[in-house]
Amino acid sequence: MEYNFREIEKKWQQRWVEEKTYQVKEDETKQKYYVLNMFPYPSGAGLHVGHPLGYIASDIYARYKRLQGFNVLNPMGYDAYGLPAEQYAIQTGQHPAITTINNIDRYREQLDKIGFCFDWSREIRTCDPEYYHWTQWAFLKMFNSYYCNDEKQARPIEELIQAFEEVGTNGMNVACSEELSFTAEEWKAKSEKEKQEILMNYRIAYLGETMVNWCAQLGTVLANDEVIDGVSERGGFPVVQKKMRQWCLRVSAYSQRLLDGMDTIDWTDSLKETQRNWIGRSEGAEVQFKVKDSDIEFTIFTTRADTMFGVTFMVLAPESELVAQLTTAKQKDEVNAYLERTKKRTERERIVDRSVTGVFSGSYAINPFTGEAVPIWISDYVLAGYGTGAIMAVPAHDSRDYAFAKHFGLEIRPLVEGCDVSEESFDAKEGIVCNSPRPGVEPYCDLTLNGLTIKEAIEVTKKYVEENNLGRVKVNYRLRDATFSRQRYWGEPFPVYYKDGMPYVIDESCLPLELPEVDKFLPTETGEPPLGHATKWAWDTVNKCVVENEKIDNVTVFPLELNTMPGFAGSSAYYLRYMDPRNHKALVDKKIDEYWKSVDLYVGGTEHATGHLIYSRFWNKFLHDVGVSAVEEPFQKLVNQGMIQGRSNFVYRIKDTNKFVSLNLRDQYDTTPLHVDVNIVSNDILDLEAFKAWRPEYANAEFILEDGKYICGWAVEKMSKSMFNVVNPDMIVEKYGADTLRMYEMFLGPVEQSKPWDTNGIDGVYRFIKKFWSLFYDRNGNYIVTDEPATKEELKALHKLIKKVTGDIEQFSYNTSVSAFMICVNELFSLKCNKKEILNELVITLAPFAPHVCEELWDTLGHSTSVCDAQWPTYNEEYLVEDTINYTISFNGKARFNMEFPADETSEAIQSTVLADERSAKWMEGKSVVKVIVVPKKIVNIVVK
């Protein structure tokens, strides 16, 4: 029988489905192992060869773990809500649900061809009401919870209400948007609406005023990365900063737990560092400043309390409420003009762009340490959402304050007299001048910092601030609450209706609240989100159902929320749902959750290092607090697969002609390189006929060939349609089979590394599989496997392989495994080994990599169950011990020939055998032996004269 991958792969893919080979059930008798891939967004373009890289790597691991006896969960699904389907809907009128389903079908077809061991019975789609039921449910829970800083966990909002009723805000240590203070009596006297407004300040899912990137023409809020140079990435429409009431998640409350959790998980240091920076813990002090000739006081946040004596001005963020209060009549016009100008800049631009802009407010603040009055400025280098949105500026020691002071001619006062405060003196990374602090010039306070290190001075000053009631010690986090609403159609609806302007959630028992149908996917004429087009989108609180908008009476029937949830809503807890995907009563059954616990191995791209991995960790911690998720950290080990770049090919057109010259002759002409579809190029040689057929303008193309061939140039670029370098896995599977594709993708290099796709080497992998096959079948297709016992050499080749591959898989070093397989098969081939004893184990070892061919040969070897359920072989060190040692024989240090000796041969015996060998005679002729040096297990050197 010949190696016919088409038949074999089809047969086994069918068999796996029929026999439910990859379905998994909870099994208390077995240890669990949960492997997860970041699920794909099914785009219209389908999969290219870069996409399956991570899936193949995790598939190998999942199969390996199963062979080791683990009960392995390896599910797959689709992140099915999202912008591209909706944009397509806007352009074509095609309902996004239809586009999404078509794309999913195409993805599935492509995935199925690669032979993954996914348990498809657990498939989820985020746009399925069955699924988003639980996304909405989590939102309800967050709405009905607050975060208690003392207990460090989310608690039911009823507890907070009860506390308000008993003691007001007295002694309260909870996460909030704004510090509020009221007594129990004051609370009780408030109206229902006022109470709801206050609670919003504490809920974990809350409606909050936040600055957003607003694009009026698109009618929606945009994420930072959708805005480039002040205009929308799509369409180039102006984007302004706007304060809007949006749903937010109080992610910031979990900052410390998100930091602490990182000590318990096995992620790369660089990924942990990225998360730590994102969370941005910063220890400092909040200090109170009085405004001169006014009762107004305001608070600043500083990490350098020791620099109080170097403060020469203050700066407010343009959005700060203080701006209106502190701008004097004289400065009003100038300030307003500045505010208008800065509105257009996104926060990221404000951080990255270091050009100096600002305006004087007209007011002065009093430095509480020196009593000195310093001017209060307004500038957008101070961010509204960080610290208190106000700073004390110390231009001698902070580079941004320095640039500002220079620009506006403000005083620069170093802490140490006479110290160098030129631009070059700033530490590039820290942006500060590193020198010791000094005491105040005219001591207004009795604080001495002389001789202290900066660190010590900060501590002493912080203590002083607290003791003198000038402020308090404060830990700040850069991590912001997440804005959670989008003015979009294709997303999860909020289970929320509005009564008297305040949001109320619908009953848990009424979920899911299904996305309504609309006839247009654009915002409404009055600027409402697309759900504003729905005619049946009101909540009947009596009958607990969705009813027509006409029935809205604001007594028992109310309008429903028109925003939808953002992309990360559905991807934040999907790993939990895979454990128990068809449960109608709960997100996941408690016992099942206890069994699978968390993901043991998570594989996905680095682009999710902050967004998804912060949100899902937050989400899981919240669910853990409300008793759902058994384990606090969702992803124990995380591997980021690298990107597969495209390898583009070029043809060279001679200018103003339709003539193309081959790569190495192009210097003789004036040419323009043009991308050519890599699918009509093989080993850099262009298929001329296919090229002519590729595009009408090339139908009459002429060629200048070298050695009868047209050789193309090449370059490594991003894999993209516009570069014509997209390689479709279906084509590779069609030509070489899935097993070759799988092994080749792994052979390209370490999983974590980015590398170019280069089809040139794929033949080698294909030949390897054929050679492997030839250990079972001879050229004439005869089955040649025997029951003869294996020789020591054969066992050695096999066990060397088992040892290497076991170690490699544990390290995700699959490329070196592929080489090891090649070496082993070559060795067995030259040993003419067709022994069952060896081949049985070889098939198991290769099965995670090339499951189809291994399943077939396993069957041929006479096994009645799947190779997936075999037992991973353990290597025997005994077989690896060398029996003989190959010595290099040198004369006067020059290697001349090699000789084999038993491993336990003595040096004396080696010496005499070497000297007696006839090959030695040639090198000793006419000379006498001065010395013989035997280096055990390596070399023999004979010194002659």
Q: How far apart are CA 492 and CA 191, in angstroms?
A: 32
Integer-rounded Cα Rg, in Å, for the chain is 35
Task: Name which of 56 and 479 has its Cβ closer to ligand ANZ.
Answer: 479
Please tell me whether residue 222 binds ligand ANZ under the rule CB under 6 A: no
* Antiparallel, parallel or unpaired: β 659-661 and 702-704: parallel
Contact stretch for ligand ANZ (CB under 6 A) within 77-85, 295-303, 790-798, 830-838: 295-303
Alpha helices in 265-346 (DSSP H): 269-279, 321-326, 332-342
CB atoms within 10 A of CB 637: 15
> Cβ distance 637 to 600 under 8 Å?
yes
* Antiparallel, parallel or unpaired: β 145-148 and 71-73: unpaired
Q: How far is the CB of 306 from ligand ANZ (least distance, A)?
A: 8
> Cβ distance 46 to 144 under 8 Å?
no
Q: How far apart are CA 259 and CA 250, in angstroms?
A: 16
Please tell me whether residue 855 binds ligand ANZ under the rule CB under 6 A: no
Give me 929's structure tokens.
């032996």
Task: Name which of 304 and 345 has its Cβ closer to ligand ANZ.
Answer: 304
Task: Name which of 435 and 816 has its Cβ closer to ligand ANZ.
Answer: 435
Q: How far is the CB of 342 from ligand ANZ (least distance, A)?
A: 13
Site size toward ligand ANZ (CB under 6 A) is 19
Contact stretch for ligand ANZ (CB under 6 A) within 163-171, 300-308, 361-369, 606-614: 300-308
Q: How far apart are CA 77 and CA 75, in angstroms?
A: 7
Contact stretch for ligand ANZ (CB under 6 A) within 68-76, 299-307, 481-489, 908-916: 299-307
Q: How far is the CB of 411 from ligand ANZ (least distance, A)?
A: 15
Q: 330 to 389, contacts with ligand ANZ by CB under 6 A? A: 382-383, 386-387, 389
Question: Residue 249 corresponds to which amino acid?
Answer: L
- Give exposure, 726-743, as e/b (b: 16+ Cβ within 10 Å): bbebbebbeebbbbbbbb
Task: Name which of 418 and 926 has its Cβ closer to ligand ANZ.
Answer: 418
Q: How far is the CB of 415 from ligand ANZ (least distance, A)?
A: 9
Kind and range of the H or E element at 5? helix 5-18
Please tell me whether residue 392 binds ligand ANZ under the rule CB under 6 A: yes
Contact stretch for ligand ANZ (CB under 6 A) within 125-133, 393-401, 731-739, 902-910: 393-401
Site string for ligand ANZ, 408-437 (x = CB under 6 A): ------------------------x-----
> Cβ distance 263 to 274 under 8 Å?
no
Q: How far is the CB of 478 from ligand ANZ (least distance, A)?
A: 7
Site string for ligand ANZ, 303-322 (x = CB under 6 A): xx--x---------x-----
Q: How far is the CB of 323 from ligand ANZ (least distance, A)?
A: 14
Query: Looking at 126, 246, 476, 817, which residue binds ligand ANZ (CB under 6 A)?
Result: 476
Query: Looking at 21, 103, 126, 302, which residue binds ligand ANZ (CB under 6 A)?
Result: 302
Q: Which residues contact 846 (CB under 8 A, 6 or more apart)?
A: 772, 821, 853, 854
CB atoms within 10 A of CB 389: 22
Q: How far is the CB of 324 from ligand ANZ (least distance, A)?
A: 18
Task: Name which of 398 and 492 has its Cβ closer to ligand ANZ.
Answer: 398
Question: Residue 943 corresponds to which amino acid?
Answer: V
Query: Looking at 123, 319, 398, 739, which residue binds ligand ANZ (CB under 6 A)?
Result: 398
Query: Looking at 301, 619, 635, 652, which residue binds ligand ANZ (CB under 6 A)?
Result: 301
Q: How far apart are CA 205 and CA 250, in angstroms?
A: 6
Task: Name which of 370 and 888 has its Cβ closer to ligand ANZ.
Answer: 370
Q: Is 330 known to sit in a ligand binding site? A: no
Q: How far is the CB of 379 from ligand ANZ (least distance, A)?
A: 9
Q: How far apart are CA 74 and CA 63, in angstroms?
A: 9
- Give exposure, 444-470, as e/b (b: 16+ Cβ within 10 Å): ebebebeebebeebbebbbebbeeeeb
SS3 content of the chain, % helix, strand, coil (to 5): 40, 20, 40
Q: How far is the CB of 615 from ligand ANZ (least distance, A)?
A: 22
Task: Name which of 346 and 649 has its Cβ closer to ligand ANZ.
Answer: 346
Task: Name which of 310 and 495 has its Cβ closer to ligand ANZ.
Answer: 310
Q: 72 to 91, contacts with ligand ANZ by CB under 6 A? A: none
Q: How far apart are CA 109 and CA 879, in angstroms?
A: 44
Task: Name which of 397 and 666 has its Cβ closer to ligand ANZ.
Answer: 397
Task: Name which of 391 and 723 has its Cβ closer to ligand ANZ.
Answer: 391
* Antiparallel, parallel or unpaired: β 227-228 and 153-156: unpaired
Query: Looking at 199, 391, 515, 910, which residue binds ligand ANZ (CB under 6 A)?
Result: 391
Query: Looking at 65, 133, 345, 397, which residue binds ligand ANZ (CB under 6 A)?
Result: 397
Q: What angle do CA 765, 770, 773 make, to 5 degrees?
A: 130
DSSP codes, 848-889: TTSHHHHHHHHHHTT--S-GGGS------HHHHS-SEEEEEE
Q: Which residues contact 570 (CB under 8 A, 6 or more apart)?
A: 79, 80, 81, 126, 127, 131, 132, 135, 492
Query: Looking at 117, 394, 447, 661, which residue binds ligand ANZ (CB under 6 A)?
Result: 394
Could you tell me which residues are beta bridge partners of residue 618?
A: none
Q: How far apart are CA 838 and CA 834, in angstroms?
A: 8
Task: Name which of 392 and 534 has its Cβ closer to ligand ANZ.
Answer: 392
> Cβ distance 729 to 110 under 8 Å?
yes
Q: How far is the CB of 215 from ligand ANZ (least distance, A)?
A: 25
Query: Looking at 177, 274, 282, 370, which residue binds ligand ANZ (CB under 6 A)?
Result: 282
Q: How many CA atoms lie within 13 A of 762 on its CB side?
A: 21
Task: Name which of 359 and 391 has its Cβ closer to ligand ANZ.
Answer: 391
Please tell me whether residue 465 binds ligand ANZ under the rule CB under 6 A: no
- Positions touching ligand ANZ (CB under 6 A) are 282, 301-304, 307, 317, 382-383, 386-387, 389, 391-392, 394, 397-398, 432, 476
Q: Binding-site residues for ATP, please?
A: 721
